Amino acid sequence: MTDAAMTPESARPTKSLTHEDARTKKRNASERRFRAYGIAAICTGLFFLLALLAAILSAGLPAFRQAVVEVPFTMTQEQFDEAEEAMLKTAIYTDYFITSLSDTMQAEGVQIEFDEDAVDRLLGKVGGDLRAYYRENQDQIGEQIGFELAASSRVDRYLKGTFTRDDLQSGNRFFMPEDFDLIDAMQEAGLIKQVFNWNFITGVDTGVDNPGGAGIGASVLGSFFMMLVVLALSLPIGVAASIYLEEFAPKNRFTDFIEVNIANLAAVPSIVFGILGLAVFIQFAHLPQSAPLVGGLVLTLMTLPTIIISTRASLKAVPPSIRDAALGVGASKMQSVFHHVLPLAAPGILTGTIIGLAQALGETAPLLLIGMVGFVARYPDTFVEGFLEPNSAVPAQIYNWAARSDAVFTEKAWGGIIVLLLFLITMNTIAVILRRRFERRW
C-alpha cells in the first residue's frame, strides 16, 4: 500500500459498473461454489435414496407374487364314489390329479414321467385339497373346473432364478433333481402362472418347513394394537403436559429442570426404554410378556418426548397477540388456550403426533427386550386378546425373518420392509393432508 492509496480520493472506486472488480469476482465465485456444493449434496442424497428404494423393491417385490399351477380337472360321480369308498382316500384323489395333469400336458405336446412324491414336493398335499374341495362342493362333480394349486417356495425361487440346479445339494429330501424337469414341463405346457400373494398380507408366520406360506398379517395386527395404545396414552398425556408447561407453569428452577429432562428423554436410546419396560411392566407389574399392551406402553414412553417437544413448539408459534386479544375481551386463561391457542396449534400437534407414531411403528429394539419377537402363528380371537395375547410387530417380524437361513424368508423380510414403508408413507401423507386442511381454515 502506498500513501496515495490511503487517501479518500483513490479509495473510491471509479470503475464502470459493468466491469466486475476482483473482490466482486471472488465473492461471486464463492457463491457459485457454495451452490454447487449444495446441489452435489442433494444429488448424493437422492442417489442413495434411489439406490435404497431400488434395492428394497427388487428384493422385496417378489414376496408379493406367487406361482400357481392351474390344471383343468373333471371329477365324475363314479370317481368320487370310488375314492370315498377306498381305504386311502386322498391317495386316490392324488392319482386322479396326476392323471389329469399328465393328460393336460400331453394334450399340449409335453411328455414327462413323474410320480406322486414329485407332485407332493412341488404342490403339497394335492389329494387332501381335492377331497376337501369336492366334499364341500358336491354340485361341482361332473363339471370341469380349473384347479389352482400354490407351488412350493422352491418352485417360486426356481422360476425367479434365485434357485438353480447347481444350488441343489444331494440328500435334500424337499427337492429332487428330476423335479426341475417337471417344473420345466409344466411351464412348457403353460400351466404355471404368477398371481398376487394374498397370503403374504393376510397370513401368519410359519415354520422353516414352509417358508413360502409365511405372512405378515398377524404382526401387522400386533403393530396396530400397539399404535392404539401409543395414541390413546401419548396424545392426551403429551398435549396436557405441554399445555401446562407452556401456558400455565411458573418459570422457575423446577420447570426448567423438567424441560431439560424432557429434551434429554428424547435422546435416550430406545433399547434403554426396552429394558425399562421389561423391568417395570413385566417383572414388576406382571403384565403379560410379549403383549402389544406392554409394547405400546414402552413405545408411549419413547413417543412422549417427541409429542411434548413438537406440541410446545407449535404452542409457542401462536402469536401472543391472539392470547392478548382473548384475555382482552375477558376470556380466562384456560378459555384463551382452549378456544384460540390450541386450535391454531392443532396442525403442528397433529403432525408431531403422527411423526411420533411413525417413529414408534418402526421401532424394533425395545420390542426385542419385552419378547415381541417370538414365533406367532395365529391371530388374536377377540379385541381384548389383541392387546394381551403374545404377538409380534412388523419390524420385529422382519428382524425375525432376516435372521432365518432360508432364502425365502429373506425375501419375505424385504417384502415386510415394503409393507412397513407403505404404512409410514400413508401416515405421513395423512399428516400432510390434515395439516393442509386445518391451515386452510385460518
Partner 1 sequence: MNDMRIVERDVDQNDVKIAAKGVQVYYGDTHAIKDVDVDIEDKTVTAFIGPSGCGKSTFLRCINRMNDTIDVCRVMGDIHIDGEDIYDSKVDPVQLRAKVGMVFQKPNPFPKSIYDNVAYGPRIHGLAKNKAELDDLVEKSLRRGAIWDEVKDRLDAPGTGLSGGQQQRLCIARAVATEPEVLLMDEPCSALDPIATAQVEELIDELRQSYSVVIVTHSMQQAARVSQKTAFFHLGNLVEYGETGQIFTNPVDPRTESYITGRIG
Question: In the complex, which residues of this chain contact partner 1 (CB under 8 A)?
Answer: 250-251, 319, 321-332, 335, 339-340, 344, 441-442
> Smallest distance from the beta carbon of 307 to partner 1, in angstroms?
24
Question: Of 344 and 413, which has the nearer Cβ to partner 1?
Answer: 344
> Smallest distance from the beta carbon of 322 to partner 1, in angstroms?
6
- Alpha-carbon 414 to chain mean position: 9
CB 92 within 8 A of CB 83: yes
99: closest CA among 134, 71, 120?
71
CB 375 within 8 A of CB 396: no
Question: Of 193 and 333, which has the nearer Cβ to partner 1?
Answer: 333
> Smallest distance from the beta carbon of 396 to partner 1, in angstroms?
44
CB 114 within 8 A of CB 178: yes
Question: Of 404 and 435, which has the nearer Cβ to partner 1?
Answer: 435
- Phi and psi at residue 96, to the nearest 5°: -55, -45
> Smallest distance from the beta carbon of 328 to partner 1, in angstroms?
4
306: closest CA among 247, 354, 367?
354
- Alpha-carbon 91 to chain mean position: 42
> Smallest distance from the beta carbon of 261 to partner 1, in angstroms?
22
Give the integer Cα–Cα distance in Å for 206 and 177.
Answer: 26
Question: Of 237 and 327, which has the nearer Cβ to partner 1?
Answer: 327
> Smallest distance from the beta carbon of 434 to partner 1, in angstroms?
17
DSSP tag of 367: H
CB 352 within 8 A of CB 307: yes
Question: Of 245 and 367, which has the nearer Cβ to partner 1?
Answer: 245
Question: Of 327 and 424, which has the nearer Cβ to partner 1?
Answer: 327
Give the integer Cα–Cα distance in Å for 149 and 68.
Answer: 5
